[in-house]
A and B are shown apart, each in its own frame.
Chain A
Amino acid sequence: MEHGSSIEINTEWDIVAARQLGRNEAKETGFGTVDQARITTAISELARNIYLYAGKGVIKIEPVRAGQRAGLIITASDEGPGITDLQKVMEDGFTTSGGLGAGMPGVKRLMDDFRVETEVGIGTTITATKWLH
């Protein structure tokens, strides 16, 4: 990896640090202002979930290259309680923010690829990728 790094999430302020890191990486990869804002928002939501539901965890941000395509991968991992009903969580309108479009379905919309691995009692790892168009 050329650049890219990770941030531990322990306090609410770490969410801001993760956002900052994400924005810098997005800019460096060549994303425009709007996509920078989208990537940052996705990081923000994931980091906030770690902070709220797992207590602590790590946000990793790394550039990728696949053939001609360049992009950015965000990995949010924690060893928290895991997500019990993933199907519900991915449904629109389920988040506690209700109707504001944020939460996990929002992250999925903001990014191009989105994958969740979660096991109750073990933890959660979410991988989301945004490609440069």
Chain B
Amino acid sequence: MPQETGKQYKQMLKSFLRTQGEEDLYLGQQFSRNFIEKKIAPEDVISLHKTSIEELIEDLPPEVSISFDFLIEMMIHYGLALKEHQSLIRKQEAIQMEMDIAVRMQNTLLQTATPEVQGLDIGWISKPAKQMNGDYVYFLNETSSQVCLAVADIIGKGMSAAMHMSMVKFGMDSLRYEKRSPSEVLSFINKMIEKSISDSMFVSMFYGKYDTDTATFRYASAGHEPALFYCAAEKEFKLLESKGLLLGVQEEAKYEERTVKLEVNDFVVIMTDGVSETRTENGFIEMDFIENLLCQVKSENAQAMVDYLFNELSRMQDYQLHDDFTLVILKKTK
């Protein structure tokens, strides 16, 4: 311990013994930050106190003096616990930095460009509840008249979910020029996941393909949330459901494929359970709640609709998402 610190301590103690005033205590506490900053262990502080008091009081009873040795012994483990704590904090900071890098990498790796398609307005959002997003949106512009999209949700969270997500992406990338139908894509990704991912990792995925020439939307689902279809003529919502197991459950799983035709101002809403299972103080929301929100903004463009839903639903959760939130809207404009 620096000699200067020792002298100052003794001086402050002396003053306090005389005044017993609050001011000295206040200054003492300010001074104690010095100890912490200079990484002076609690046992050293006691030892300093012992030396100081021995010098300040001539006829200090020897038992009192010796009792500080006992206190020093008591403090050794406190000192160790403090050092361990400090080292664990540094470790945690290092882990946090790694995590930030991983998040940035994931974002770069998984970024997808919103396609420009004649007559189709596309809006979407995907927000993680924690650092790593377990939801994923993927667009693929196969030809000028066809656009594919996948919305996936990894059952499982954090880092490992993110790593598996990358695999799913590269699986879909590899099908780029093959013009596969939605059910074929799901079968392919399912086989890939089944082979290579641990037993406890499953993925739900909604895969759709819109054809501008016929204005049809073909879709298949692997255990994913049903999508919503809004029919402007009937002013009504329908569920777009399609049978299929989660990806990674069974190698030979089959995926049903369905089609819906879009008229002008019709739109399709694809989401993950972070949207449909929004939890509020009063429990889970119902699907018709989402339908009502959508109706309020149905004449806006797709991105404005998406943003509105996100703002409303995140406000209802006090801006603390419980689950990753992903929403895609495809709207036929002409």
Contact = CB atoms under 8 A, between A and B. Distances in A.
B183 to A, nearest CB: 48
A27 B310 CA distance: 70
Interface residues of B, number: 20
Interface in B66-92: 69, 72-73, 76-77, 79-85, 87-88, 91
B296 interface: no
A101 B81 contact: yes
Contact of B83 (A32, A34, A41, A109): A109
A101 B82 CA distance: 7
Interface string A108-133: 01100000000000000000000000
B80 A101 contact: yes
Contacts, number: 52
A92 interface: yes
Contacts of A100: 77, 80-81, 84
A126 B79 CA distance: 22
Given A93-B84, A99-B84, A102-B77, A34 B91 contact: no
> Which of B47, B80, B82, B83: most chain A Cβ within 10 A?
B80
How many A residues touch the partner, as a band? 10 to 19
B5 to A, nearest CB: 15
Contacts of A40: 73
A92 B77 contact: no
Contacts of B88: 92-93
B85 A101 contact: yes
Contacts of B323: none
Nearest to A42: B76
Contact of B69 (A33, A41, A101, A110): A33
A105 interface: yes
B86 to A, nearest CB: 10
B328 to A, nearest CB: 43
Interface string B74-112: 001101111111011001000000000000000000000
Going nearest first, the 7 A-B pairs with the smallest beta carbon separation are: A101-B80, A101-B81, A101-B84, A106-B80, A34-B47, A41-B76, A92-B84
